[in-house]
Amino acid sequence: MTGTYLIFVKPKILKKKFPTSFQEKHYRSTFCKNKICTLIFSARSFSARVTLLERYDALAFKGISCFFYDKPSAMRDGAEPTHRRATARLQFIYCKEQIIHLIGRRHICAPPCNHLRGRSITMIYSLEPYAEDRPLGTSHAHGLQSNTLLDDPFDVVIIGSGAAGAVAADTFVRAGLRTLLLEEGARLKTSAKNADVDAQAEHALAGNSEQGWNPRGWPWSTRNLGGGTVFYGGASFRYTDFDFDPSERIRVEGLPVKWPIDASDLAPFYSEIESILSIDHAGFECRRRQAPNTLSLPAEHLWEGALRLGLSPRPTPVAIDRSRCDHCSLCITAQCTRGAKRDVVNSLLGPLADMPNLLLLTGVKAVALTQEKCNRASAVRCMDTATGQIRSIRGHRFVLACNAIQTAALLLRSITPYAPRGLGNEHDIVGRGLCMKLSEYSQGVVHAERQRIDDHPIGYRGPFSTVCALDHYLDERCPTGVGGLIYEAKHDDWSLLQGDGLVLRVETVLADHPSLGNRIRLSSNTDSWGLPRLMIDYTTNPQDLARLAYMVERSADWLKASGARNIQHEASNFAMGSTHLHGTCRAGDDPRTSVVDRDGKLHSLDNVYVVDGSYMPYPGGVNPTLTIQANALRIARQIARDATGHTSAS
């Protein structure tokens, strides 16, 4: 039975922090066609309610996707995971503003109900699910179910379907390897927005020595097929020579920052990925004074302002097929329905979805890797996120592409008789060296007639960024001599900003210093799935704060030179989480200070590889996605050659 349910609970009851024997006042909505809601929410014992939820999940709660609590501070840590584990598809919304937003977008199904009239009533209700029921292709299935294809070992098991995992899958499948691609999230409906999916993001315990611990850390991109690329802005920069070896200016005790590869090693793979994703690297490298026709109206002002300052503006390289783009959005708020934005679902996974040697499983979480020999992983233990079913899947090779948070967590959870501290963690390096970059927004207003805005072929619309400047990337006036990137970063709700002027908004981005103390750890508390909850230790280096302040000044200079007034700054809350994640399984030659070698293989295992941003010994000062993808392609090609015995596997 599918249905939408409304349940109302008095706030004063919520304030009791979910004791094991509290009385709940319950109400049944007009959508409740049976007595299951009454049974569950009449249970006097918390454990009894959980039992009932588990028992009736498949019937009564199939359509439920969200709980809302008016007072999140009243929730005990154990309450959310228990409910979410029992019902599998529950999400949490924490503020009334989100409710109002969602009601306005008609995502809430709320029948007339007299119980809404009471002031003390708080809603706990459902949203439309964002999961697409239709498979991507014949090779795609959701959940473990009774899939007989899982009985035989796979040539390669890839964990994570985002930027790196999709590139690896494409390489292995085309090399003829029997490939399993696991994704914890689901394939999204095209109507799903970034804000909708963000509400489902897993929260970690994030904090530092100054701020304490905050349970609302959001330290990774959304869990869905295609990962963060589905909602990213497409910015695709190559790393500079300095990013591969910053040791002349950046020194970190206990953590070498030099990569075991350099820019020349990635050059052919950069070119290949740029071709697949329609990235105009040649246009980016071209030095010219005349503004290209790909600029938005704000970017045209910024281009002229950069020239006045003596800077060298460049068009932001983006993974967007310009021939298909109609500038309908900023790319970061919604999915692209035209196939213009080259996210990995459109560009890589879609064409693979009918290949017979691929099995793509969504809704399956990798819990841990297991071992039968000291130097090899034998299987991955998985959980069906809808049913809680656990199954081990065997493989000859395992490729981790979960992102720098989840990959480290997976290795730390993989405790075996041969690895009592987790796989690859013999020297306590797994999870250390976490980098999330630093950033800050600056904006001002220039005079512009509304008619001119409306008549411009792009106006304020997307892509998210169309002009950038790297003149301060290495700047001797900046503390340590290492600056960063500044680029156009239009506000996602652009329509609200078009008044009597035109808003110019830029973001500065810079690398943060790696540190042994900035790390991922496992908590003694459990998360939604009964697994150790993640803890994010992150304290910003004072030098990095000084560098950020310098770059914010340069951002203001650029805005002023572009004619902007009323300049304001907006700090990004990077310490609580970021989608630019690096360094927790760092690459290097010394097993004492690194987790993987130059080809992404764990030093201590022969068949486990890391291909995502956790590989990076130094985070670099630009958006990392293109570099992650190029490096994933390089490593995957090497794995494919070793597996097939061919000198070329392309």
517 token code pair: 């103390």
212-217 vs 140-142, strand pairing mode: unpaired
- Please give the Cα distance from 161 to 402 (Å, whole number): 8
CA distances from 113 to 15, 28, 121 (A): 24, 10, 12
Catalytic residue among 472, 580, 582, 603: 580
Please state whether the peptide bond connecting residue 463 to the residue before it is cis, i.e. omega within 30 degrees of 0: yes
Report the C-alpha gap between 585 and 602 in whole angstroms: 9
Q: What are the CA-CA distances from residue 375 to residues 259, 370, 424, 602, 606 (Å)?
A: 25, 11, 10, 10, 6
| Per-residue CA distances from 455 to 15, 449, 451, 452 (Å) | 54, 10, 6, 5
Q: Residues 453-483, buried b or exposed e (16+ Cβ, 10 A)?
A: eeebebbbbbbbbbbbbbbbbbbeebbbebb
For the question of residue 203 being annotated catalytic, the response is no
Q: Kindly state the tokens that stand for 596.
A: 């993987």
DSSP sequence for 610-631: E-SGGG-SS--SS--HHHHHHH
Which positions ≥6 away from 12 have C-beta within 8 Å? 120
237 DSSP assignment: P
Strand ranges for 221-326 from DSSP E: 314-315
Residues with active-site annotation: 580
